[in-house]
Chains A and B, each alone.
Chain A
Amino acid sequence: MNSNTNLQATTSSALEIEAAHLAFRERRQSLPVLNQISLTVPNGKFVSIIGPSGCGKSTLFHVIGGLVKPDSGKILLHGKDVTGERGHISYVPQKPALFPWRSTLDNITLAREIAGMPIKAAREEAQAWLGRAGLAEFAQAYPHKLSGGMQQRASFLRGLLAPQEVLLLDEPFSALDALTRSDMQRWLLDIWEENQRTVLMITHSVEEALMLSDSIYLFSSRPATVLHRIDVPFTRPRTEQLLDDPRFLELKRDITAQMRVQMHKNQPL
């Protein structure tokens, strides 16, 4: 490989994971969790990870976020090695985890506050975003006044307003009921297609992954290995009609079947 193509590869991919390997040690036993995971999230693309539950996807996020150091392998951000370093990514956790003693607005500006950015500009921008998320009148309300879907939207805005470029979404809709969930997916799709932030999302829902992503990584059950990379062929902007597209249904069936195989590897019926 010559240096020129190498440079190109690094500039076009915002986040790269190179052969990350991790095992937890428990009572002198080694439990492998991540097995040589390699994946790439190109600049401004939406990439999803699908895998059976408990396959170590959340651990992967901890590795990317610098909370856990991999035994081997590297995390690269625009080609720069950031393995084990914190503060490089914007994390949207599984449950909203808004700070109950902060108003919704103050929650959303938290990441910028931590980064030491001017708070006034952050508040103005946050106010504008709250309006777009239909939360304008809840800016000064404490999070417990918000419904589950609203809290998740606020949590997502907190991630979106963070100064870090790459967003990590950890099953962001899993705690919501089906109706709110599809509503939120459409909302996220709209927001994302306008902003084109670099996103890596973990999900259990094949439909959600197909609807939102540019490419999907299929993970095996524990220890997590990358089984496949699926490039999602559908053009953007996407609408709900996509759900009835025969190609969409075929892909969905295909991925679901592969996931089922993985699930039953661990827990035979």
Chain B
Amino acid sequence: MNIRRIWSNVWPPLLAVILFLFIWQIATSLFQIDKWMLPSPTDISREAAAEGAGLWTHTQATLKLMLLGFSIGTAVGLLVAFTLHYIPFLRKALYPLIILSQNVPIIALAPLLMIWFGFGILPKIIVITLVCFFPIAVAAMDGLSRTDHVMLDYMRMAGASKWDIFIKLEVPYALPAIMSGAKIAATYSVMGAIIAEWIGASKGIGYYMMLQKSSFRTDRIFVAIAIIVTISLAMFLLISLLEKWLIRYHPSER
């Protein structure tokens, strides 16, 4: 029953992807598109198999960077949200700045960070943190401010301390919102890691991409894209599963 329901959700997009790849494959041979311009899916998968071991080390490097950045970004985002939630003046003062910070293109900021902090891991972590913390912080603040008033009144009248209210009511209440933010942050963190590796790295999928771009290996760039998409999907899935487990009480998520 359960498997059948999951399958019924999976097969339509799966079919669409297969169809898309099929048309792509046919089109490349039908219109005789050059391999350096647009390689066919079979070309790409052949290349992926040939590159195997090397790709895995690059993927590992990216995964490590991304997971570290995502964890730190999430922690920073939550910390910012909790602080601003409890100090309304800070919230008023800093909220517009936080929004403004998202208008600074990360592509422009990344080289600056390299100049300031060198080519080590620190500037890369900062890049990922910058893209990650925003969706988490905004979602968490939103969730915290929506706390049910009757429940809040109840806790206050019962004489609950600020900490009790925070840990027993506000955080669990904001959890669904925080998890939605985390899903967005998770996919952003992959992008952040790739950008960080573009700017300056000696390994990782982003670095691999830059390398292949300079030698016009379109097929290998597509391999890199496929890996990035897979990582993003895996992260999204992982957070979704975590969300399902954390919010298992939810009536609509039976």
User: Which residues of A line the B interface, CB within 8 A?
Assistant: 62, 65-67, 86-91, 93-95, 97, 99-101, 110-111, 113-115, 142, 144, 162, 164, 168
> Does B35 interact with chain A (Cβ within 8 Å)?
no
The answer to whether A111 and B158 touch (CB under 8 A), given A99-B169, A142-B249, A144-B251, is yes
Beta-carbon contact of B158 and A90 below 8 Å? yes
**CA of A87 to CA of B155, assembled, Å:** 9
Taking the complex as formed, is B150 at the interface, i.e. its CB lies under 8 A from any CB of chain A? yes
Q: Do A114 and B158 touch (CB < 8 A)?
A: yes
Shortest Cβ distance from A92 into B: residue = B154
Residue in A66, A97, A100, A164 whose beta carbon sits within 8 Å of that of B154 in the complex: A97
Question: Which of A87, A142, A168 is B159 in contact with, Cβ under 8 Å?
Answer: A87
In the complex formed, the residue of B with least CB distance to A155 is: B154
Q: When the two chains form their complex, are residues B250 and A62 in contact, meaning their CB atoms are under 8 A apart?
A: no
CB atoms of A62 and B153 under 8 A apart: yes
A67 to B149, CA, bound (A): 12
A112, closest chain B residue (CB): B158
| Contact (Cβ within 8 A) B249 A91 | no
When A99-B169, A101-B172, A101-B249 are in contact, do A93 and B153 touch as well, CB less than 8 Å?
A: yes
The 5 closest A-B pairs by CB, nearest first: A87-B159, A65-B157, A144-B251, A91-B157, A97-B150
> How many whole Å from A87's CB to the nearest CB in chain B?
2
Chain A residues whose CB sits within 8 angstroms of the CB of B249 once the complex forms: 100-101, 142, 144
Instruction: Count how many pairs of residues, one from A and one from B, have CB atoms less than 8 Å apart in the complex.
Output: 63
Contacts of A89 in B (CB 8 A): 157
Residues in B neighbouring A93, C-beta threshold 8 A: 150, 153-154
Expressed in whole angstroms, the minimum distance between the Cβ of A63 and any Cβ of chain B is 11
Question: Interface code B105-141, partner A: CB below 8 Å = 1, 0 otherwise?
Answer: 0000000000000000000000000000000000000
Q: How far is the CB of B228 from chain A (nearest CB, A)?
A: 35
Distance A94 CA – B151 CA, assembled complex (angstroms): 11
In angstroms, how far is the closest chain A Cβ from the Cβ of B55?
Answer: 42
B148 at the interface (CB under 8 A from A): yes
Interface: B156 (CB within 8 A): yes
Point out the residue from B150, B159, B250 that lies within 8 Å of A100, measured CB to CB: B250
Interfacial residues, chain B to chain A (CB-CB below 8 A): 148, 150-151, 153-160, 164, 168-169, 172, 175, 247, 249-251
A93 to B148, CA, bound (A): 12
Contacts A87-B160, A101-B175 supplied; 7 other A-B pairs, CB < 8 Å: A65-B156, A66-B156, A95-B150, A99-B168, A110-B168, A111-B158, A114-B164
Instruction: Given A94-B150, A99-B151, A100-B249, verify A67-B158 contact (CB < 8 Å).
Output: no
Contact A91 B151 (CB under 8 A): no
Whether A91 contacts B251 in the complex (CB less than 8 A), given A114-B158, A115-B159, comes out as no
Is A86 a contact of B154 with CB atoms below 8 Å? no
CA gap between A19 and B237 in the complex, in Å? 60
A66 touches B157 (CB 8 A): yes
A144 partner residues in chain B, CB cutoff 8 A: 249, 251
**B151 touches which of A62, A97, A113, A168 (Cβ 8 Å):** A97
Contact status of A88 and B159, CB under 8 A, knowing A100-B250, A144-B249:
yes
- Give every chain B residue within 8 A of A99 (Cβ-Cβ): 151, 168-169, 172
**Nearest-CB distance from A89 to chain B (Å)?**
6
Q: Which residue of B lies closest to A97 (CB)?
A: B150
Instruction: Give Cα A62 to B202, complex, Å.
Output: 63
* Sampled A-B contacts (18; CB under 8 Å): A66-B156, A66-B157, A67-B157, A86-B156, A86-B157, A87-B158, A88-B159, A91-B154, A97-B150, A99-B151, A113-B168, A114-B160, A114-B168, A115-B158, A115-B159, A142-B251, A144-B249, A144-B251
Measured CB to CB, the closest approach of chain B to A148, in angstroms, equals 14
Asked whether, in the complex, the Cβ of B148 is within 8 Å of the Cβ of A97, the reply is yes
- With A100-B250, A142-B249, A144-B249 known to touch, is A91 a contact of B153 (CB < 8 Å)? yes
Complex CA gap A168/B158 in Å reads: 11
Interface centre among B153, B164, B169 (most CB of A within 10 A): B153
B159 touches A86 (CB 8 A): yes
Contact of B153 among A65, A87, A88, A90 (CB under 8 A): A65
